[in-house]
Amino acid sequence: MGRGAAAREDPVKVLVTGGSGFLGREICRRLSARGDVVSSLCRRPSTALERLGVRQHLGDLADAAAVSRAVAGCDAVVHNAALAGVSGPPRPYWATNVVGTRQVIGQCRAHGVRTLLYTSTASVVFRPGGLRGVDESLPVAPRHLAAYPATKARAEALVLAAHGPELATVSLRPHIVWGPGDPHFVPALARAVRAGLLPMPGDGGNLVDTTHVRTAAHAHLLALDGLRRSPQAVGGRAYFIGQDDPRPLREIVRHFLRAAGVDARWCAVPPRLATAGAAAGDALLRAVRSTRTHALSRFLVAELLHPHHFDLTAARRDLGFEPPIGFDAGVAELVRSTPDDSEETPCRTPTTPSAPS
């Protein structure tokens, strides 16, 4: 265990936005298990959170009054909620990811909350050509291929700019969060299989790092404790989080599909054809004003074609971070899990995060 998670102080009153989502629920579970007083903001009630004893505030990030009620009386906020996707028009993403984050920051200040942890995404720095062992000195991408990473980058900038003596802030950047109960990544792969074939751009040899849900939640607790203990040391910074075990995408996909009981053969689509098809798909979605968030897009194809893995030195140095579970152990756990491990289907709302991350 990292030093932040092992050394407990007095119980902390923590609000987790998007607590009914895949990662949000694991964060709530771990906070509750160590004795913190946990509440969540989501649009629909969650039976899983009820079982954990988490107080639930129902409301939308766009509703200032709802956010105010949820934030009031808290010592810290973990802002985990987001609208995620690989396609779709900018406006819904902006309303949830940017305007919603402004609401959270404003209500933290209004209620004297001194600690704000933001769940960002490694996609804020992604650019065509990929990322090979990059660290946090790499600036966010000057141009994004989709509204999701663009708005997450803007929201992260707002959070980090808000850091100061009255409100300490930090941002975590997990990438491809998976594990038992994953309602996003693994099911999407399984749905893409046709007649035993999985059409994918390229040969899958690009190295990709991922983040087990327990690893991501563990990092959140470390960052929360580190920010409360030493705001000058970690505040105002962003940190990459992952398994630190990049593997060929083809291998990752094979493990995940087999864990889901799906036997499929990789069917390589030529990169130029996949990219051209994605560009055409983006154009068509814009023409028909589609609001689909998980359609074929240039962003999705670029992430599937190129490497993306990260240098986690800063998180190790400043947060005491180490992945609590390895990739192979996580896959074995995934094989043993059942559909019931998801506990419930997260509500697909602007306050519930979904892949990608």
Q: Strand pairing partners for 201?
A: 269
| Nearest-10 Cα torsion for 237, 242, 247, 251 | -140
Amino acid at site 193: V
**Biggest distance spanned by C-alpha atoms of the chain:** 58
Dihedral sign for Cα atoms in the order 156, 326, 198, 342: negative
d(CA 142, CA 48): 40
Which two three-digit tokens encode residue 81?
A: 């909620």
Q: Strand pairing partners for 200?
A: 268
Beta strands at 177-178 and 211-212: parallel, antiparallel or unpaired: parallel
Catalytic residues: 148
Containing H/E element for 39?
strand 37-42
d(CA 24, CA 39): 11
Which two three-digit tokens encode residue 318?
A: 């400043």
- In sequence order, the 6+-apart residues with CB closer than 8 A to the CB of 21 are 42, 80, 81, 346, 352, 353, 354
Distances (CA, A) of 69 to 39, 86, 105, 162, 208: 11, 32, 14, 21, 40
d(CA 135, CA 157): 17
Report the side by side order of strands in the sheet with 308-310. 131-134, 308-310, 207-208, 247-248
